[in-house]
């Protein structure tokens, strides 16, 4: 009878020193911005760490939607909104370059 492979051990412990509360803001058109506020394990704000902002948008492709996201170097929501267009354009450019590269490989 074949032996059963050992089960892979995955660390599923919560990193209690790296917790964030997430708030989402959207214009219901193109922009989705997540503010990640650092918190302590008891749920209170952790003022020793700065909040982070993540921008997200989608591109439609023949294969379906492509999610684009980027860390926004901002300290306020207003700053994050100002930096959103350039950050997303960089992600669009990267996605387009990758698509072109994949297309060239298929053509070879």
Is 68 domain-assigned? yes
Is 86 domain-assigned? yes
Is 4 domain-assigned? no
Q: What is the pLDDT of residues 8-45, one digit of tens each?
A: 899 999 999 999 999 999 999 999 999 999 999 999 99
Q: What is the pLDDT of residues 50-63, one digit of tens each?
A: 999 999 999 888 88
Owning domain of residue 55:
19-107
The count of structural domains within the chain is: 1
DSSP for the chain, written as a single string: -PPPPPPPP------TTSEEEEEEEE-SSS-EEEEEEEE-TTSSB-TTS--EEEEEEEEEETTEEEEEEEEE--SSHHHHHHHHHHHHHHHHHHHHHHHHHHHHHHH-
């Amino acid at each position: 009878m074949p032996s059963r492979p050992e089960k892979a051990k995955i660390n599923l412990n919560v990193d209690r020193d790296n917790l964030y509360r997430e708030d989402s803001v959207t214009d219901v058109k193109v922009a989705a911005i997540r503010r990640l506020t650092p918190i302590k394990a008891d749920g209170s704000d952790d003022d020793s760490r700065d909040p982070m902002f993540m921008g997200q948008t989608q591109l439609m492709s023949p294969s379906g939607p492509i999610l684009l996201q980027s860390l926004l170097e901002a300290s306020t929501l207003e700053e994050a909104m100002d930096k959103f267009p350039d950050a997303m354009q960089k992600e669009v450019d990267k996605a387009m370059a990758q698509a072109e590269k994949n297309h060239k490989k298929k053509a070879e």
